[in-house]
Structure 1
Amino acid sequence: MPKDATPVESDGRRQRTERSRSAIINAALELIEEGVLIATAQQITDRANVGIRTFFRHFEDMGALAQAVDESIRGQYEAAMLDADRSGTLEERILHAVERHADVYEQNYNIILATTAQRWRLEVLQQNYARVQKGLRKDLDNWLPELKTIASSQREAIDAIASFEMWHRLREHQGLSVKTCIEIINGLLLNLTQSA
């Protein structure tokens, strides 16, 4: 610490730094939620009401910001997957798994789309996407231990049907309601697991 800096000044500087960093992360999230899936550093700093130099003092590049955004929301979406009663018949568990995945997809819709839109150019998003896919597969295993005994081709079909990509197609391209999407995916999964 410089000789003329007091602990109070140092704490104030640290708090301002943390406020700026949080404002940038929150601005990036707000823009994504509004549908700006590939926001520029300038758009983010304008929203955060900080200068572009401040942005690059906190984040080396857009990949570093993407990592920080993921870290700020990861606990929320991972907790949503874990907090569930997984008891019941096979039919009940399939329905509850589909409903839980639907909740997570709907709550994080634009975040997932933003990840998909930028995944090709940011390694951190490729890693995050792979981690989430692995987690979703494990989550289905936890809901449906029966999946461990089915043919690999059927298991891969189940993962495809339960994926966000399938959800997005039904919701966006086919214009279906959440309820109808749940019914469709539930029916497909039931058919596959019962025919195994």
Structure 2
Amino acid sequence: MPGNSAATGGSGRPVDGRTERGRQTRERIIDAVLALLEEGETRFAADRIAERAGVSRRLVFHHFADIAQLADAAIARRLGQLAAQARPLPMQGARAVRVAALVEQRARILEWITPTRLAIARLDDPSDRIQELTRQMLDLARLRLAEVFAAELDRLPEQRRTDLLNGLDAVTTWSAWHHWRTAGLDPEQARRTMAATVHALLSSADQSDAADPPPDSP
């Protein structure tokens, strides 16, 4: 009917036009922060965000109490998108193939997530949501390592298995990647370094395992 400002949402319930416009504006503002992240920016000025979103500075602070709250919302969304970046990895077959697949995926994801991780580091007080999403990301990365290298890990005694998994985890997560990149390595050099380190850790475990006497030896 003319003059009715409500529309019907997918659930069949009326959606107030003003509320929907507000939601869309909020999304545009978050999208603007993500676009700036993709360009490598990790410090967010309200004027820059407003310009990118096509809204006024006043409207930015109408939807978000401050830039920290806005950054929190954008970072949470970006971390939530991380799972879509990961493809299934081979868990059987030649070690070289498994290492290559894992390292290619890690290098691509870690380079992509770097601006977000730097933005998190600059937050004075990351929210519980950001901390939980970061922890989930790290836990999932460790689980994938255990799956991809199960053939090498599962034949080791418990403590040695844990030590090897800890080492693999340390050299395939963002902290190591950021170290290599800030040391001057380009993404391809950093990827090769990661691959060489993973191979070295696995080979070291092979040699240590071969040097151990059989369990029933005197």
Interval of TM-score (by shorter of Structure 1 and Structure 2)? 0.7 to 0.9
**Residues 90, 148 of structure 2: 8 Å contact kept:** no
User: Paired residue for 2:6?
Assistant: 7
CA distance in 1, matches of 2:141, 2:43: 25
Shift of 1:162: 1.0
User: Paired residue for 2:193?
Assistant: 184
Report the TM-score, using the length of structure 2 for normalisation.
0.73
| Higher relative contact order (CA closer than 8 Å, sequence separation 6+) | 1
Of the three residues 33, 54, 64, the one matched with 1:28 is: 33
Which deviations, in whole Å up to 9, do the C-alpha atoms of 1:68-108 show, x marking residues without a partner?
32453345421222434444222221221111100111222
Q: How does 1:103-182 map to 2 (within 5 A)?
A: 103-118=108-123, 120-123=124-127, 124-145=129-150, 146-147=152-153, 149=156, 150-173=160-183, 175-182=184-191
Q: Structure 1, unaligned stretches of length 5 or more? A: none
Larger CA deviation: 184-193 vs 126-135 = 126-135
User: Paired residue for 1:19?
Assistant: 24
Q: Secondary structure at the match of 1:108?
A: helix
User: Paired residue for 1:193?
Assistant: 202
Q: Secondary structure at the match of 1:30?
A: helix
Q: Secondary structure at the match of 1:195?
A: helix
Structure 1 consecutive aligned stretches of length 4 or more whose deviation exceeds 6 Å: none
User: Paired residue for 2:214?
Assistant: none
CA distance in 2, matches of 1:6, 1:66: 32
CA RMSD of aligned residues (A): 2.7
Q: Secondary structure at the match of 1:22?
A: helix
Shift of 1:33: 2.2
**Residues 115, 129 of structure 1: 8 Å contact kept:** no
Which deviations, in whole Å up to 9, do the C-alpha atoms of 1:119-154 show, x marking residues without a partner?
x52234333322211121112122222335444333
Report the TM-score, using the length of structure 1 for normalisation.
0.80
Which has a greater percent of helix? 1
Shift of 1:190: 1.2
**Residues 98, 182 of structure 1: 8 Å contact kept:** yes
